[in-house]
Amino acid sequence: MIVRNACPACGSTHFKKNGHTHNGKQNHQCKTCPRQFVQCCEQYLISDDKRGLIERLLVERISLRGICRAVGVTLKWLLGFLVQCFEALPDHLHVQPVSCMRDVLIQRLEVEADELASFVQKKANKQWVWIAMDAKTRQIIAFHVGDRRHKSAEQLWAKIPQAYRQ
């Protein structure tokens, strides 16, 4: 969560605290226009332009934490965004192996359910984002959202392109 740093109506950065809403969130009032607003969740604040930039950075195989630092998003947001991107793609990502080593790195990242739930509509307490990367190029070659058990690893494995599975 980050605090909205400008009025959503007029864009003014001059606002003051103005009591609390019925559900306890800090309310703010713009000093330029009458608009009142509360803290806003981060995914709402990421503009389409920024999302486009992040997509291009992902294609450039920049590390996830590097992207977070460069564009100022949290790792949790980025993982949620990744889920959105990957769920829009077919299971096999049409990845062409670019390195000849073809070693695969598996990363398992824990994500809080409430961060991810809105993206994948899963109800379990914990979701894990499984990522298979080409060990040399860091290109993401497969992606799976599931629990932390062995079955999820198998499901990730099934999505890894044939060339890497040999």
Q: Where are the alpha helices (DSSP H) in the chain?
A: 42-45, 48-59, 64-71, 75-87, 113-120, 150-159, 162-165
Angle between helices 75-87 and 113-120 (to 10 degrees): 20
Count residues contacting Zn ion (CB under 5 A)?
8
Angle at 85 between CA 83 and CA 86, to 5 degrees: 65
Q: Residue 19 or residue 24: which is nearer to Zn ion going by CB?
A: 19
32 lies in the site for Zn ion, by CB under 5 A: yes
30 lies in the site for Zn ion, by CB under 5 A: yes
13 lies in the site for Zn ion, by CB under 5 A: no
8 lies in the site for Zn ion, by CB under 5 A: no
Residues 6+ apart with CB under 8 A from 127: 111, 113, 116, 117, 120, 145, 146, 147
> Site mask, Zn ion, residues 47-86, x = CB under 5 A?
----------------------------------------
Question: In the complex, what is the shortest distance from the CB of residue 8 to Zn ion, in angstroms, rounded to a whole number?
Answer: 8
Q: Residue 33 or residue 41: which is nearer to Zn ion going by CB?
A: 33
Q: Residue 33 or residue 105: which is nearer to Zn ion going by CB?
A: 33
The Cα–Cα gap between 7 and 15 comes to 7
12 lies in the site for Zn ion, by CB under 5 A: yes
Q: Does residue 1 contact residue 42 with C-beta atoms inside 8 Å?
A: yes
Residue choice 4, 6, 27, 35 for contact with Zn ion (CB under 5 A): 35
- Alpha carbon of residue 61 to chain centroid: 15
Give residues in contact with Zn ion (CB under 5 A): 7, 9-10, 12, 30, 32-33, 35
